[in-house]
Amino acid sequence: MTNSLILSTLTKTYDGTPALRDVSLSVAPGERVALLGHNGAGKSTLMKIILGLIPFDGGEVQVLGAPPGSEKARADVAYLPENVAFHPALTGLEQIRHYLRLRGHSARLAEGLLARVGLADAGRRRIGTYSKGMRQRVGLAQALIGMPRLLVLDEPTSGLDPVSRRDFYTLLDDMAAEGASVLLSSHALTEVEARTDRLVILSQGRLVTQGSLSDLRRQAALPIRLHVIPREGHGSALAEALPKGRMNGTGLHLSCAQEDKLSTLSRIVGLGEIVRDVDVLPPSLEDIYSHFSRRDGQ
């Protein structure tokens, strides 16, 4: 099957300042890709180019086999902007009915869509009275219209509570299971870690790395931290046995390279009686993320 989205050596400059530099990326049908990066790393710019909202300067972009923003691309692409906004005078139902008709669907589907995002009861109230989380859910409801083949979601879970976030990712899983490609950006690293297939890290307009979390972990080769807790009264003996470690109130902190993990562990086990417990702390997603996004010039 051909890729839903293909970007090759995409370049975009705003008034002489490069916003995107040689970004190449493709997303397959059914794949969920998370776009990570600092504010200003180029995530929103990349999304707007994919949607055809802003022009680009160099490279190639193909959205569902068509140019971005073309009628063919727009027919099958759904978008959820960052801080999505609607006219405050309309009710949730009226707004969704309008979007349904724009996509050529029956307006009667609106109630079902709002129910899917948990807004069945608020549909008849004006959007002006909604909370940020509720507006975000109206935004999600419109992105679900008509089984889009590519979903472009700019910080889709901002403003959602933890339960709604989980529901949102369940909806996304369903869409992906039916073959929709998902490209989403997020700051909430821990949630995209578990719910997406691939992470793409942008830094200063460059794509610095991409892959699954374990790929990135291997690439980054960040040290593993070990926390060794001594038996009572054996603290100083432990510190002597592991001179590279650093003692604190509860135990000894030690870090080692990925490939030395097993040998270090067996050394600790070999200390026998004086060790009560060992915690192994692999580098967190935050560590890996800052490793990649700071590598460039910062």
Partner 1 sequence: MMRILTTATTEFRIALRNRWVTIAVVMMVIFSLVLSAAGSAPTGALGADRLSVTVASLTSLSVYLVPLVALLMSFDGVAGEVERGTLPLVLTYPISRAELLVGKLLAHLGVLTLAVAAGYGSAALAAIATDTAAVQGLPALWRLMWSSVLLGAAFLCLGYALSALVPRSTGAAGLCIGLWLVMIVLYDLALLAAVVTDGGGWFTTEAFPWLLVVNPADAFRLFNLAASDATAAAAGIAGAANSIPPTHALVSMSLWPLLALGGAVMVFRKVTP
Please, where are the H alpha helices in 51-161? 71-76, 92-102, 110-116, 132-143
The single residue among 75, 171, 237, 278 that binds partner 1, judged by CB under 8 A, is 75
Contact between residue 120 and residue 114 where contact means Cβ atoms under 8 Å apart: yes
Q: Whole-number minimum distance, CB 71 to partner 1, in Å?
A: 6
Q: Whole-number minimum distance, CB 162 to partner 1, in Å?
A: 26
If DSSP codes are grouped into helix, strand and coil, which group holds residue 281?
strand
**Binders of partner 1 among 156-215, rule CB under 8 A?**
none
| Closest to partner 1 by CB, 43 or 195 | 43
Residue 274 in contact with partner 1, rule: CB under 8 A: no
141 token code pair: 């409801």
Q: Give the count of residues interacting with partner 1 (CB under 8 A).
A: 30
Residue 83 in contact with partner 1, rule: CB under 8 A: yes
Q: Whole-number minimum distance, CB 97 to partner 1, in Å?
A: 8
DSSP string, 35-76: EE--TTSSHHHHHHHHTTSS--SEEEEEETTB-TTSHHHHHH
In whole angstroms, give the CA distance from residue 26 to residue 40: 21
Q: Whole-number minimum distance, CB 81 to partner 1, in Å?
A: 5
The single residue among 19, 77, 175, 254 that binds partner 1, judged by CB under 8 A, is 77
Would you give the binding string for partner 1 spanning residues 39-68, x where CB under 8 A is met? ---------x--xxxxx-------------
Q: Which residues pair with 185 in a beta bridge?
A: 35, 154
Q: Taking the mean position of all CA atoms in its chain, how far away is CA 118? A: 22
Cβ neighbours of residue 19 under 8 Å, at least 6 residues apart? 12, 13, 42, 45, 205
| Closest to partner 1 by CB, 79 or 289 | 79
Binding site for partner 1 (CB under 8 A): 48, 51-55, 71, 74-75, 77-79, 81, 83-87, 89-90, 94, 98-99, 101-104, 126, 139, 142
